[in-house]
């Protein structure tokens, strides 16, 4: 069990509770409390809100309220006096921020993905060394990065940004970026199957993600070539 798990796992949301604890440490550092001029009541309200929206970045929590967020967007109006509407909106915005690496241009998105899977696979290697069976997405011998990314976009990212775009038309831009990035992952998956079949065990994350540029230089400029043509 990791140090963080030992500290926070009793209530779940280990990383999110760590983030909350670190936020509180910052507020308690001299010169860092931007809320110091609030009244005691206001300060407590802010702390409660911080706790609520930071814990909302736990995807397990998000999946528990996403249906309500969809209903809020479908309703077409926001009740300013409704504490529940406010909570749902704040949690949605926080999750959208948390997943924002999926809305960047392809160059930045694939770089973020490389870092994430390096972390996942390092954890998987450690779990194997301890005699444990890692999740498939953390097992470098079993994980199919493009498929995992497409699944994540379809089941997590797309619903978030579709809801956001329905409530705020300006959010169509990040939604479009997610759609464009998904096309790249589909394309990478196609190239991997053509070149390597189902075996990518000897490839690094960087090699998998950069296969577009190696095979088809135009892809480095964000162009996707139809393999059927």
Residues making up the annotated binding site are: 98
| CA dist., res. 105 & res. 179, Å (int) | 11
Kindly state the tokens that stand for 22.
């670190």
| CA dist., res. 53 & res. 69, Å (int) | 14
Residues 6+ apart with CB under 8 A from 198: 144
H-type alpha helices, 76-144: 83-98, 106-129
**For residues 121, 123, 124 and 125, what is the CA-based torsion angle, rounded to 10 degrees?**
90
Q: Which residues are annotated as a binding site for Zn(2+)?
A: 98
Give kind and range of the element (H or E) at residue 209. Answer: helix 205-209
The DSSP letter of residue 138 is G
What is the SS3 assignment for 67?
helix
């Amino acid at each position: 069990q990791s140090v963080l798990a030992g500290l926070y796992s009793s209530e779940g949301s280990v990383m999110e509770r760590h983030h909350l604890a670190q936020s509180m440490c910052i507020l308690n550092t001299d010169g860092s409390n931007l809320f110091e001029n609030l009244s005691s009541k206001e300060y407590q309200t802010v702390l409660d809100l911080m706790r609520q929206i930071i814990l909302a970045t736990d995807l397990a929590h998000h999946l528990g309220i996403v249906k309500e967020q969809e209903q809020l967007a479908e309703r077409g109006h926001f009740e300013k006096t409704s504490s529940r509407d406010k909570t749902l909106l704040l949690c949605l915005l926080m999750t959208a921020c948390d997943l924002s690496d999926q809305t960047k241009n392809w160059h930045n998105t694939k770089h973020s993905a490389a870092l994430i899977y390096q972390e996942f696979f390092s954890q998987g290697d450690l779990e194997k060394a301890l005699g444990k069976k890692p999740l498939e997405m953390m097992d470098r011998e079993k994980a199919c990065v493009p498929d995992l990314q497409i699944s994540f976009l379809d089941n997590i990212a797309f619903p978030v940004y579709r809801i956001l775009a329905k409530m705020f038309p300006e959010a169509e831009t990040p939604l479009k970026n997610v759609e464009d990035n998904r096309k790249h992952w589909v394309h990478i998956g196609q190239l991997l199957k053509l070149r390597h079949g189902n075996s990518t065990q000897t490839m690094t994350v960087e090699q998998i993600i950069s296969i577009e540029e190696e095979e088809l230089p135009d892809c480095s400029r964000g162009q996707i070539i139809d393999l059927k043509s």
